Structure 1
Amino acid sequence: MTVLLSACSEKYIVLDPKGPIGQSQKDLIIITTLLCAVIIVPVLILAGFIVWRYRDKPGRKDDYKPKWSHDTRLEVTWWAIPIIIIAILATVTVRYTYALEPSRPIESAEKTVTIQVASLDWKWLFLYPEEGIATVNYIKFPDNVPVRFELTSDAPMNSFWIPQLGGQIYTMSGMAMTLHLQADQTGKYFGSSANFSGKDFAQMRFVAEASTKDEFDAWVKEVKATGNALTTDGYEQLQKPSVEEQQQFSSFPEGLFQKIVTKYVPEGSQGHHHGGGAVSSNEQKQKPVQPETSEDADSSHNAAQSTHAGH
């Protein structure tokens, strides 16, 4: 299988990270694979050897011991090694899980760029609250600068993923998640939906481009000068199920991300405000929604599904 796949034109992008989060995840993949191989490889080799070595054949004169059932040395060996490996795996996984918590900011002297993300059927809407612009199926940010993604969904549950920069994280209606990533070099990176969400989910791909700071600033100015405004009516049309090409908008309605997060809370009812207690829909309209951490999501959705896989 490895030989056949090596002929494919696509690279193993998960194993070709271009950022600190992706690199740490690659290290974890390699470490866990090697530790598991310590158990799996000898077992597979011994399985074949034992079948061949103790096969029945004419003229065999070895002693036959049908009542043999215990050997202390073998018992200690095949129980001790897996226990040690599992203990090491547990320690490594806990350390990496804590270090790679998606809501944990990336330490940097550079100012973090914030991008708000809304998964729609079947496209991605990106809002730049500080720059005042919006895009569809395309994002741009400076290299060597941390990017804070605030994520929600105005459609079925989905999953946001830029494989070379870091692991995927779910987007869910009524919730605001947080993900920090960074690109260490300029380039265009593949982004996609990593969750089944309908007939055209495979078309939910986007380009994540890391550029120099000057190029990013120039692009923002260009979008503000040449793009059309995303109006409320325009968003309502965009929200309808469809496959879209890349688009750029010079502006978008104020508070659009917060409205998307809270739009499914019935008027006057008590909605779940992540990071705090239950608040009414009227209060939510007045108070910006703070993206939650994965701990918040785990506590509120533990019975349904983990909110984050691989990151």
Structure 2
Amino acid sequence: MLIRATRRAGFLAALATTACAPALLDPAGPVAAGEKTLLINSLAVMLGIVLPVILATIAFAWWFRASNTRAKHLPEWSYSGKLELLVWSVPLLVIIFLGGMGWVASHDLDPQRPLASRQKPITVQVIALDWKWLFVYPEQGVASVNRLVIPAGTPVQFRITSATVMNSFFVPQLGSQIYAMAGMEAKLNLMADRPGRFRGLSAHYSGEGFSDMDFTVDAVPPRQFAAWAAGTKGQGPALNGASYLALAKQHGSIAPFTYGSVPPGFFAAAVRQAGAPVHETDNGGRES
């Protein structure tokens, strides 16, 4: 029974490690790559003290075993200034190294810091709903639900808010997660280095539908993105106050779909509502 339980625990641990590895150790953008470098460097610094301590513990236990008559026993020994300096200096250096790396990375990977690129950034406005994601493309005049399409190799400037409780926007293979809060606008800059399909999710528990609050990120070549935006514009339903309220009231997992038009100022109106969905107005979704 014990052997079976041990095997089961080992299998679950291996499965969990395999599931996390592609997202954390397979970055698809400069922000995620920087975070991976910081993670590995921090681990290396910490192992620099952990491994010697483990080896020293084994060595001390072996040397001072009862059968070793060469080991000296010093019952009167109580203090050594040099040894005390050594014991405290090593962890102090580790803390200094970790703090320095964290300080540098926190500035280099600042979510609001624009990414260096020859390509002009695009803007995507993100609204967290119960329990779905709404992506608005103000420059293209379209919107999508539970599917984010972005051009590969082009910086994306995300402006993020919530129309309900606090949530967290996270695409592990692209980088930093950031909170979406009602009445507030968060900014996040990400970029996909290569075309591909990535998983996006909510990293903050927000209710009974939280486990299904994920979305697909499709990074496509710039020409394909332009064709997608042009093909979406004018097709399907329009995003306005009435359709937004209807979307907000839907519960459960929703298949991705698009809106063919978005009124100007829609995202700003959603932020001003401070947690209440945009009301129907005579301006097609804008506040009167």
Q: Which TM class, normalised by the smaller chain length?
A: 0.7 to 0.9
SS of the residue 1:82 aligns to: helix
Q: Structure 2 matches for 1:202-221, cutoff 5 A?
A: 202-221=211-230
Aligned alpha-carbon RMSD (Å)? 2.4
Partner of 2:164: 155
Q: Does 1:248 align with 2:258?
A: yes
Instruction: Pick from 184, 194, 199 the counterpart of residue 175 of structure 1.
Output: 184
SS of the residue 1:215 aligns to: helix
Instruction: Pick from 28, 32, 48 the counterpart of residue 38 of structure 2.
Output: 28
Instruction: Pick from 105, 125, 133 the counterpart of residue 96 of structure 1.
Output: 105
Partner of 1:189: 198
SS of the residue 2:233 aligns to: helix
Call closer, same or farther: CA 1:59–1:82 in 2, change over 3 Å: closer
Structure 1: distance between partners of 2:98 and 2:168: 27
SS of the residue 1:24 aligns to: helix
How far apart are 1:252 and its partner, in Å?
2.4
**Cα deviation code 1:77-132 (max 9, x no counterpart):** 22112212221222211111111110011122211110000111100000001111
Instruction: Pick from 133, 144, 156 the counterpart of residue 153 of structure 2.
Output: 144
Structure 2: distance between partners of 1:155 and 1:265: 5
Partner of 1:45: 55
The amino acid of 1:85's aligned partner reads V
Structure 1: distance between partners of 2:128 and 2:219: 21
How far apart are 1:253 and its partner, in Å?
3.5
Is the 8 Å Cα contact of residues 232 and 253 (structure 1) preserved in structure 2? Answer: no
How far apart are 1:62 and its partner, in Å?
4.8
How far apart are 1:63 and its partner, in Å?
4.5
Structure 2: distance between partners of 1:215 and 1:265: 35
Partner of 1:296: none
How far apart are 1:197 and its partner, in Å?
0.6
Q: Does 1:234 align with 2:249?
A: no
Instruction: Pick from 119, 124, 129 the counterpart of residue 115 of structure 1.
Output: 124
SS of the residue 1:45 aligns to: helix
Structure 1: distance between partners of 2:50 and 2:227: 53
The amino acid of 1:251's aligned partner reads S
Query: Mean Cα displacement is larger for which, 221-230 or 106-115?
Result: 221-230
Structure 2: distance between partners of 1:194 and 1:7: 18
**Cα deviation code 1:129-187 (max 9, x no counterpart):** 11110000101111111000000001111110111111111111111000000111101
Structure 2: distance between partners of 1:254 and 1:132: 8
Partner of 1:75: 84
The amino acid of 2:155's aligned partner reads P
SS of the residue 1:229 aligns to: coil
The amino acid of 1:261's aligned partner reads V
Q: Does 1:124 align with 2:124?
A: no
Call closer, same or farther: CA 1:11–1:61 in 2, change over 3 Å: closer
How far apart are 1:59 and its partner, in Å?
8.4
SS of the residue 2:251 aligns to: coil
**Cα deviation code 1:175-213 (max 9, x no counterpart):** 100000011110111110011111111111111111111
The amino acid of 2:240's aligned partner reads T
Q: Does 1:16 align with 2:3?
A: no
SS of the residue 1:252 aligns to: coil
Instruction: Pick from 114, 125, 132 the counterpart of residue 105 of structure 1.
Output: 114
Partner of 1:279: none
Instruction: Pick from 271, 276, 282 the counterpart of residue 261 of structure 1.
Output: 271
